[in-house]
Amino acid sequence: MDQNTKKQMVAESVLDYIDNGEILGIGSGSTVNILIELLPKVKNKIQNVVSSSVNSTKLLEANGFEVQELNSIGRLTKYIDGADEVNKYLQLIKGGGGALTREKILAHNSDKFICIVDESKKVEILGKFPLPVEVIPLSRSSVAREFIKIGGRPVLRQEFTTDNGNIILDVHDLNITEPLNLEKTLNNIPGIVTNGLFAINHAHILLCANDNEIEVSEPIV
C-alpha cells in the first residue's frame, strides 16, 4: 500500500471521532488536506471551525466552511493535525509546512488533540526530521549560534516566510532524547517565536495507518 493510500485511510478514520457540536481546530499538511476534502460528510456535526494556516483556511472555505478566528471562539473541543515525527509518548515534531506557531496555539487551546499520520512518521527518538523553528528575522544569527552550541546544524529555509511574517530555521543533527526539556529550553531563547517540538502540547490520541489497519494509540505513561 502506498503512502497516499495510507493518508487517505487515516483521514477517513478520524471522521468517526468528530461528535455533534464540535468546535473543531484543523491543522495543515498533506494528510490534513485530504481530511478537509472529506469534512463535508460530517459538516452537520461541526458547530465552528478554526484553521492553523492560510492554505487550510482557503481549502476549508472551498469546501463550504466559514472559518472562524480563535479569538472569537475561545476553546476548541478537538484539534486534528498531522506530524512530521511522533514517538511512543505522542510527542511530535511539526512544522514541515511552516505553520507550527498557529498549530501549537490551536493544540494548546483544545480539549483533545488527535494526530493523524502514516507509519513512516513513527520513530523511537525524535530528531531525524530537522526541527523547524520560527524565528524573528533580526535574531537569525544569534538563535543559530544557540543551536550550534547544543550540536545542531541550523539551516535557513530558503525563500520562505511564515504566515506571521517570520523565517524558519530547520535544525539538523539533533538527537532529541528529552523532548520536554528541550522544548522548555528553546522557549526561553530570545528571538524564537515557536519551536516545532510538541512535547508540552503532545497529542492525546494517535491514529496511524499501516499496511493493514488504523492503529489507535494513547501516550505511554
- Give the domain CATH number at 75: 3.40.50.1360
User: Do residue 57 and residue 147 come from a single domain?
Assistant: no
User: Do residue 24 and residue 106 come from a single domain?
Assistant: yes
| Predicted pLDDT at 195 | 98
User: H or E segment at 117?
Assistant: strand 113-118
| Predicted pLDDT at 220 | 86
Rounded alpha-carbon distances, angstroms, from residue 55 to 62, 85, 126: 11, 21, 27
Number of domains in the chain: 2
User: Do residue 101 and residue 73 come from a single domain?
Assistant: yes
User: Do residue 110 and residue 206 come from a single domain?
Assistant: yes
User: Do residue 164 and residue 207 come from a single domain?
Assistant: no
User: Do residue 117 and residue 148 come from a single domain?
Assistant: no
User: Do residue 42 and residue 91 come from a single domain?
Assistant: yes
User: Do residue 113 and residue 26 come from a single domain?
Assistant: yes
User: Do residue 41 and residue 147 come from a single domain?
Assistant: no
Domain of residue 187: give its range. 131-194
- Which residue in this structure is represented by grid cell 466552511? 65
| Predicted pLDDT at 145 | 98
Query: Digits of tens for pLDDT over the chain (221 positions)?
Result: 899 999 999 999 999 999 999 999 999 999 999 999 999 999 999 999 999 999 999 999 999 999 999 999 989 999 999 999 999 999 999 999 999 999 999 999 999 999 999 999 999 999 999 999 999 999 999 999 999 999 999 999 999 999 999 999 999 999 999 999 999 999 999 999 999 999 999 999 999 999 989 999 999 87
Statement: the pTM of the whole predicted model exceeds 0.75? yes
| Predicted pLDDT at 5 | 94
CATH of residue 150's domain is 3.30.70.260
Per-residue b/e over 66-95, b at no fewer than 16 CB within 10 Å? eeeebeebeebbbbbbbbbbbbebbbbbbb
- Categorise residue 151: left if φ over 0, alpha if ψ from -120 to 50, beta otherwise: left
Active site residues: 103
User: Do residue 72 and residue 180 come from a single domain?
Assistant: no
- The CA angle 18-21-23, to the nearest 5 degrees, is 75
Bridge partners, 172 (sequence order): 153
User: Do residue 145 and residue 39 come from a single domain?
Assistant: no
Cell numbers at 180, concatenated: 520536554
User: Do residue 166 and residue 90 come from a single domain?
Assistant: no
* Cβ partners under 8 Å of residue 146, min gap 6: 189
